[in-house]
Structure 1
Amino acid sequence: MSIGRSGQSAGRGIEVRHLRAFLAVADESNVTRAAARLRLTQPAVSRTLAALEQHLGVRLVDRSTHHLALTPEGVVFRDKAAAAVAAFDEALDSGGLRHWPLRLGHAWSAFGPYTTPLLRRWQELYPRTPLELLRIDDRTAGLTRGEVDAALLRGPVEAPGLVTEVLFEEDRVAAVAADGPLADRTALRLTDLAGETVVLNTVSGTTTVDLWPPSARPAATLTVANTDDWLTAIAAGRGVGVSAASTAGMHPHPGVAYRPLADAPSVPVLLARRDVPGHPALPDLVALAREVVGRDGGG
């Protein structure tokens, strides 16, 4: 079926394939990869995208850089296109789920101790809908950019257009050099770290200097962009860090010692999704995440 501007059938109008091509390009940021994903040739995808842009009268993709990026109009249209394709697929298969992957993003530490139970239980219940766990170094783990269908996030999230639910709370820990004097302590307090350089992941982390009381804030900070660089800096003795407790189990490092941080507030762990129609399996993911936390948390 072809849809013209007025919504009536038109022989040279827009079809669902145009939307799928645009969404593939938006997800892959690359026409070649999008073509491979759609099992089409690169020129066919380029022509389809160009036809969609011509029909809408706006440029959806910025082609001026090596890695394609969505224009502001493309970002807005992506959610509308995803909703339209989801509605189309649901109409054709109202009794089942789409069998392509459900993408679950995280910036670090995933679902903490519940990560493995969640993945195993999902595989048991929904073997035809793969659950892909993707680490993306971004405050919303790629959710606001449309790179994932849902995300596991920590700390307050102020991005507009998201629906969030707190699933559990985590204590905080201090991360210090394993061969440093602070590693000899069984537990630490925020004031114990105030005299050190504090390593802050400003891209996806939740720790800021506001965690400390105004009278005892760190004298110096070192900013990094991801968890790997955060661990490397701490192991090298360039500073100390603060993170959620699950980081100790999900990101062990021979040069880093984790110690309980007795006086720091806990960190909420959220399951977030965009406030638009999305993957039909999202309600099942929300229900299973609640079940896993409730069952494991209650012993």
Structure 2
Amino acid sequence: MTMELRHLRAFLAIAEEGTITRAAARLHIGQPALSRTLRQLEGHLGVRLVDRSTHHLELTAAGRRFGDKAAAALAAVETAFDPNSLAALPLRLGHPWAALGDLTVPLLRRWDAEYPEVPLELRRVDDRTAGLTRGKVDAALLRGEVTAPGLVTELLLEEERVAVVPADSSLAERGSLTLADLTEWPIALNTVAGTTTLDLWPAAVRPTTTIEVVNTDEWLTAIAVGRAVGISTTATPRLHTHPTIAYRPLTDAPPVPLFLAWRRGTPAHPALPQLLRLAREVATAPSP
């Protein structure tokens, strides 16, 4: 059977999402069709790419090696067919939410001052790698564990977590909160690009109700109207203020790492080294 781009897209979606169910929803196809596509790819390569022995799918060693190649190949194809690729090349910086927090504007201003000949485009893309594995951006600001194959990451900083609660709730009356304080409320979970899962709580105090959303706007709305509470990082209150939402320090949750990521094995944008240098400098500069 002839292999097609859909086989690469199917494998990368499975690798990034960790389950056939979420990958099928992302690709807008049925689960049986996606499973068949994976079997076709494995049959063509003659190796098992995905270990299906657990509820959460894991890549085999061969799968991890193939993932790097598949991500590079698909990104190269996306770039080749991009009608803008024949014009002046902007540097596309993706993010699924919050970008670089309150350091976003300083980064963009410094870039414009130092490299005015290269446009730096900030793009919000609602998926786990902010469009990086699909060739939609040249680099991305990603929070939490980065497991997508074919990516190189550099840690820029770590952000403390905050509880996000309705402003008229009793939780907003407190100066700080703990994970246990939130368990009686439904928890809003961004299943596409969020860093919060129920594994954040100890098993003895784990919430029993969740509301799943697919982007930051839906997440904020669920909290603002009082349907749920959420957990984010200190980047969010600096970018999203609203009279019906309150942010409180969360004292017993670990910080969230923020990475700059780019693709391995494909020609990088020529200005990527400059972006990496500026991002490091902005992230480590003393607070004013």
Q: Could you state the TM-score of these two structures normalised by the residue count of structure 1?
A: 0.69
Q: Distance in 2 between matches of 1:60 and 1:189?
A: 46
Matches within 5 A, 1:203-282: 203-275=192-264, 276-282=266-272
Q: Which of 101, 126, 130 is the aligned partner of 1:141?
A: 130
Instruction: Spell out, residue by residue over 1:129-159, the C-alpha distance to the aligned partner (whole angstroms, 9 max, x if none).
Output: 0000001111111111111000001000100
Question: What is the aligned partner in structure 2 of residue 114 from structure 1?
Answer: 103
79 and 226 in structure 1: CA distance in 2 versus 1, 3 angstrom threshold = closer
Residue identity opposite 1:287 in structure 2 = R
83 and 234 in structure 1: CA distance in 2 versus 1, 3 angstrom threshold = closer
- Contact 1:83–1:278 (8 Å) recurs in 2: no
Matches within 5 A, 1:64-213: 77-80=73-76, 99-213=88-202
Deviation of the 1:269 alpha carbon:
0.5
SS of the residue corresponding to residue 175 of structure 1 reads: strand
- Contact 1:108–1:135 (8 Å) recurs in 2: yes
| Structure 2: gaps of 5 or more residues | 8-27, 29-36, 42-68
Residue identity opposite 2:123 in structure 1 = L
SS of the residue corresponding to residue 122 of structure 2 reads: strand
Q: Distance in 2 between matches of 1:158 and 1:288?
A: 25
Question: What is the aligned partner in structure 2 of residue 292 from structure 1?
Answer: 282
Instruction: Provide the aligned C-alpha RMSD in A.
Output: 2.8
Task: Give percent identity, aligned residues only.
Answer: 57
81 and 259 in structure 1: CA distance in 2 versus 1, 3 angstrom threshold = same
Q: Distance in 1 between matches of 2:114 and 2:88?
A: 13
SS of the residue corresponding to residue 207 of structure 1 reads: coil
SS of the residue corresponding to residue 145 of structure 2 reads: coil
- Contact 1:150–1:272 (8 Å) recurs in 2: yes
Deviation of the 1:113 alpha carbon:
1.9
296 and 228 in structure 1: CA distance in 2 versus 1, 3 angstrom threshold = same
241 and 287 in structure 1: CA distance in 2 versus 1, 3 angstrom threshold = same
Instruction: Spell out, residue by residue over 1:28-65, the C-alpha distance to the aligned partner (whole angstroms, 9 max, x if none).
Output: xxxxxxxxxxxxxxxxxxxxxxxxxxxxx976589xxx
Deviation of the 1:180 alpha carbon:
1.0
| Structure 1: gaps of 5 or more residues | 1-56, 63-68, 90-97
- Contact 2:94–2:139 (8 Å) recurs in 1: yes
SS of the residue corresponding to residue 296 of structure 1 reads: coil
Larger radius of gyration: 1
Instruction: Spell out, residue by residue over 1:223-246, the C-alpha distance to the aligned partner (whole angstroms, 9 max, x if none).
Output: 000000001001111110000111
Instruction: Spell out, residue by residue over 1:50-107, the C-alpha distance to the aligned partner (whole angstroms, 9 max, x if none).
Output: xxxxxxx976589xxxxxx9x999976444457999xxx9xxxxxxxx9421000001
SS of the residue corresponding to residue 118 of structure 1 reads: helix
List 4+ stretches of structure 1 deviating above 3 A. Answer: 57-62, 71-85
Matches within 5 A, 1:22-101: 77-80=73-76, 99-101=88-90
